[in-house]
Structure formats: structure tokens, C-alpha cells
Amino acid sequence: MSTLTSTYQYRTIPASVAAGLRERDDAGQTREPFTDAEGGAPLRCCLTRSRIGERIVLVSYAPLRRWAEEHGASPGAYDEVGPVFLHADGCEGPRHDGFPAELVSARRVFRGYDSRGHIVGGRLVSPAPGHAEEVAAAALDDLFADPAVEVVHVRAVEFGCFLTEVRRPVRRPV
């Protein structure tokens, strides 16, 4: 007898979308890249943090709008545009599969959206050091237990910035 495990799909901003945002962002602006003097900016193109001296750019991004276009949804007033950091000169994408510990290890809000792109639930998480993955998985398990939840966005609590999109888990036998 096999059991099923769920693997959450933590998604970066796709390379083609990031390339477009570097030229003209979702607020219709062209943003100037800069050299990161401090490091630590949460990069949405690879789900890591920037290093001192890397060239990055801060652009406006509408994550729910992108998901809605892909799924034929109309999020209405839930269509938010906010700041995200990207590598300025392109990116090879995530350096790992799975849980983005570098970005999700602090206080975060997990927002669940339905097939229309409307918020249908949320969870505030504040993981203790070393427990981010299990706390995030519990919040996602709880949100995705509602069959209405199609996608979850993870955001920073203090600034509300979008960090990553999580799709309904892929279930596979073990």
C-alpha cells in the first residue's frame, strides 16, 4: 500500500516575465538598476537574497494579474501592484527545488485566492528559528484544505511585498 505526499510548488517570477519587467514594469515604468551595497534583498527571480555588490532592480509587479491571465480569472480589486527585487541583468532561476528558506523564514502572511482571484483565506506565520519549513507547510496544508483555494501568495508582513506564489500541491505515491 502506498501513501500520498504533497509537494508544494514554490514559484519564482518566470524568466520571460522578469525580462519584461526589467524593460517596463507593471506600473508602466522603466526602473534603474543599482549595485546592492548592503545585500539581503529578497530576489523574486531565484527565491534567494542578493549579495553585496550584485546589480539588482526594484520593479512594480502584479502577481495576481499574471495568475489571473493564465487562468481566465478576473481578480477585480484584489489585483495589487507592488515592489519586487530582481537581478538586474537576468538570472538563472532558483538554485534549488522546493522550500525557499531564505525568504520564508521570518513573519509572513499566506493569502489564499479562489478561481476568480479573490482572497478566501489567510494565515499569519511566525516561525521559530529552524522551523520555517514545517510552519509554512502547516499553513499551506490548512489553506489548501479548502477546495476553493487555487493559489497562495506569500508576502512579507511589515511591507506587504510579494515573495512567492504557491500552487496546489502535486500529489504523488510514496
Report the predicted TM-score, pTM, of the whole model to 2 decimal places. 0.86
Tens digits of residue pLDDT in 60-95: 999 999 999 999 999 999 999 999 999 999 888 887
Checking if the pLDDT of 157 tops 60, the result is: yes
Q: Residue 164: how many CB atoms within 10 A of its CB?
A: 24
Residue 4: predicted pLDDT: 33
Would you state the pLDDT for residue 60?
Answer: 96
**Hunting for cell 508544494 — which residue is that?**
8
Nearest-angstrom CA–CA distance, 171 and 169: 6
Note down the domain range covering 94.
4-173
Task: Determine the pLDDT at residue 120.
Answer: 95
C-alpha grid cell, residue 110: 499566506
The answer to whether the beta carbons of residues 58 and 81 sit under 8 Å apart is no
Indicate the SS3 state at residue 138.
helix
Which residue matches cell numbers 511591507?
159
Report the domain count for the chain: 1
Q: Which amino acid is at 99?
A: F
